[in-house]
Structure 1
């Protein structure tokens, strides 16, 4: 049940944050392996990017990749939050005073994120390629022209087999490990501190809301460099053997970005990334709290039946 609760929380949050994910993906691919001033800038900032996408591709394009995005949320957060909650249920996260141990929270948050990312990696691959596809006038990165999630999965599988669908999974595991550890640990610790000090207790979920924002900030700062790398790796074209045509792996991608675009390129799209992470983290973690409470309520009803 913990896995279902985590997955449903992710799906609920994913629907509202998906447009920012589309913008983030486009901005991370913009100017790929080009120095500043040597490429077209189609997406100047978040408002301009939204306007440009709607103008050329229509309003519905802001929800590109929504289907694999929601499946990704269901799988990744179902596994991630489920593992973390199980660790808490078995007493692995708290001390004798029931306070969260920071190191334990980081470790299990990292482990849970890594496992969830492995199972969700094919969906993230497809989602990235669907989100990057646009009209020719504002196209950035490799254009894969998939007509939908099922078509994309079958096309990748026919060309490169199962390994093609899991291309970049190791990088995704590192990415999610970093993001999950920073998000869950900062959320748990800050929410617990507010609750223990009777701060922001006007509403049952107000402390969760504020802690979710703190988690979003921490996740955005720590996650964005690896997120840029993974967007590039997932979106690049591959040869018949499934090898990337632009990057051979994480280190090669990082080296080429540094050489051609500079270190600041690792924070491309940080604006929409935060605007995505903030509502997503808040909704995800608040939904998680609410669904856990609802689960307990259903359990009490069964006990009283």
Structure 2
């Protein structure tokens, strides 16, 4: 009798077609965010400096009785060029770029993490606006709190040219000197002076920027059928810039004034007790519209900043083979 043994050979499962995409990783997204933000910051920084100078106008008259010559956005910018030199329009750019190494990277990866892994999109791929709003506020607040020391140094450096013209002695000579001076006078806690209004502003700005950009992009694609293209990115970023400027300017004015005020040896402000006190005094002394000082340069800067950032961000991701935002 012949026994025939049948041997069954198990077929190997086909290899997974899903390949690891480094372009969608945490660190690649972080780096792309920083690069895109640095490009946008360099391009629009003169408007940020002009905005800061405008926000301080009027404060001297209410705190030390000095008469102040009010200027608009254009006259302020021209005045800086004529009185201090054209390059002074980029005064404080170093700490501004240092800030984005921390701030922009954290805010983008935090938002994407909350959207894709924590709050989660709907099965159809949409992301409800209330979830987007929570993600924008939380990611902006976290990123800004960590980056607050760089923002403090930037504001103080931006005001140095104005102090010299007013005959006042310089407070800081550069980024490193400002950092050491703050540490010597107020300790590490002093690096977070004005962090509360700073975080409040960042939460509102990111609610306007991230939430509006993400929501506008979804709605425009849904309603018009536009593909994920440069035109879509432009339309979404314009909406984001306007909403972010409208929501963030009052907190930005308060943040700038709290950060720019002198402090005693314990690091306590000599003009304002905190962000609420600054808000009240500003409205009482200068009126409600003082909270929107610098709105025009904020908006004019926010629009091209948002446009430059999102176009750069999306294009770099597309070039690397990553998915869209």
Same fold (TM over 0.5): yes
**CA shift digits 1:243-276 (9 cap, x unpaired):** 0010010111111111111111000010111111
- Name 2:196's counterpart in structure 1: 170
Is the CA contact 2:197–2:252 (under 8 Å) kept in the aligned structure 1? no
2:305 is the counterpart of 1:285: no
- Name 2:319's counterpart in structure 1: 294
- Name 1:301's counterpart in structure 2: none
Find the aligned partners of 2:215 and 2:159 in 1 and give their Cα distance: 36
2:216 is the counterpart of 1:195: no
- Name 2:19's counterpart in structure 1: none
Structure of greater Rg: 2
Find the aligned partners of 2:299 and 2:140 in 1 and give their Cα distance: 19
Is the CA contact 1:8–1:78 (under 8 Å) kept in the aligned structure 2? no
**Comparing 183-192 and 225-234, the one that deviates more:** 183-192
Is the CA contact 1:99–1:192 (under 8 Å) kept in the aligned structure 2? yes
Find the aligned partners of 2:204 and 2:111 in 1 and give their Cα distance: 15
Is the CA contact 2:33–2:313 (under 8 Å) kept in the aligned structure 1? yes
2:203 is the counterpart of 1:151: no
- Name 1:302's counterpart in structure 2: none
**Comparing 181-190 and 237-246, the one that deviates more:** 181-190
Question: Measured at CA, do residues 97 and 297 of structure 1 come closer, stay the same or move farther in structure 2, by a change above 3 Å?
Answer: closer
- Name 1:67's counterpart in structure 2: 94
Find the aligned partners of 1:113 and 1:45 in 2 and give their Cα distance: 30
Is the CA contact 1:69–1:127 (under 8 Å) kept in the aligned structure 2? yes
Is the CA contact 1:77–1:116 (under 8 Å) kept in the aligned structure 2? yes
Q: CA deviation at 1:197?
A: 2.9
Of the three residues 147, 155, 159, the one matched with 1:128 is: 155
2:141 is the counterpart of 1:114: yes
Q: Could you say what secondary structure the match of 1:207 adopts?
A: helix
2:207 is the counterpart of 1:181: yes
Q: Could you say what secondary structure the match of 1:90 adopts?
A: helix
**Comparing 11-20 and 286-295, the one that deviates more:** 286-295
- Name 2:299's counterpart in structure 1: 274
Tell which has more relative contact order, 1 or 2 (C-alpha 8 A, sep 6+). Answer: 1
Find the aligned partners of 2:60 and 2:68 in 1 and give their Cα distance: 12
Question: Measured at CA, do residues 12 and 272 of structure 1 come closer, stay the same or move farther in structure 2, by a change above 3 Å?
Answer: same
Find the aligned partners of 1:135 and 1:189 in 2 and give their Cα distance: 40
- Name 2:51's counterpart in structure 1: 24
Find the aligned partners of 1:72 and 1:251 in 2 and give their Cα distance: 25
Identify unmatched segments of 5+ residues in structure 1: 299-305
Please, what TM-score do these two structures have when normalized by structure 2?
0.85
Of the three residues 241, 257, 266, the one matched with 1:216 is: 241
Question: Measured at CA, do residues 272 and 247 of structure 1 come closer, stay the same or move farther in structure 2, by a change above 3 Å?
Answer: same
Of the three residues 117, 122, 131, the one matched with 1:90 is: 117
Q: CA deviation at 1:137?
A: 7.5
